Amino acid sequence: MSDSATTAIGLLLFPALTQLDLTGPFEVFARAPHTQVHLIWKTLESVTSDRGMKLQPTTTFATCPALDVICVPGGPGQIDLMADEEVLTFLRRQSEQVRYVTSVCTGSLVLGAAGLLTGYQATTHWASLDQLALLGAQPVAERVVRDRNRITGAGVTSGIDFALNVVAELYGSEVAQDLQLQMEYDPAPPFATGSPRTATPAQLEKVRTQIAPFIEKRRMATVNAAAKLHTLP
């Protein structure tokens, strides 16, 4: 645990992540009182997101200070992380000392690959939600899911909702509400198509078809990670 005077939140940074999975929560956490946010990767070299944005780590696995919260964002690069023992070992070690183990989008699949969601309710991007069950988690189709000290957010844009929930857990709902007002977080999307629950059947089928090859690639990585879980001591 970090110094009681400061809350330390670590966000995992990795190649080909979806930057909004990380930068949405970062914006919330960085505004929270007495909080220090760390961007963590294997080295201090810049990391490129899946859409080309370069992001700079602030600490490494080796130099990461004691954390209160560890968060794993998602994105295409998550597939490689599920078989990266250096990353999985780091997450397992952090899970033993932090207050909250958290994720946004398909970052929850990485937590699952590390064995950290076995027996927990969790969520992820709607297109990969069923894959959580392969990793021993109970999939829940909600924007933010908390089960004991695991807090997971659904797809990309849920990161802000997720982070406000985490801030409410750490500092109380009044602080989280103040931050929401500061950020003018008052979503009014132009279309009611942001969820499988509101999209038309035709739209949902079209998008499922478009992303099907990648989702199958992710599923194979999840299947392989699930097989490795059974060999853990």
Q: How far apart are the first and last CA of the chain?
A: 26
Q: Output the CA torsion 109→112→114→120 (10° steps).
A: 150
Query: 85 near 66, Cβ under 8 Å?
Result: no
Catalytic residue list contains 71: no
Which residue out of 9, 91, 105, 167 is catalytically annotated?
105
Q: Which residue has the tokens 């939600």?
A: 129
CB neighbours of residue 227 within 10 Å: 10
Q: In a 10 Å sphere around its CB, with 0-12 CB exposed, 13-18 middle and 19+ buried, how is residue 180 labelled? A: middle
Active centre residues (catalytic): 105
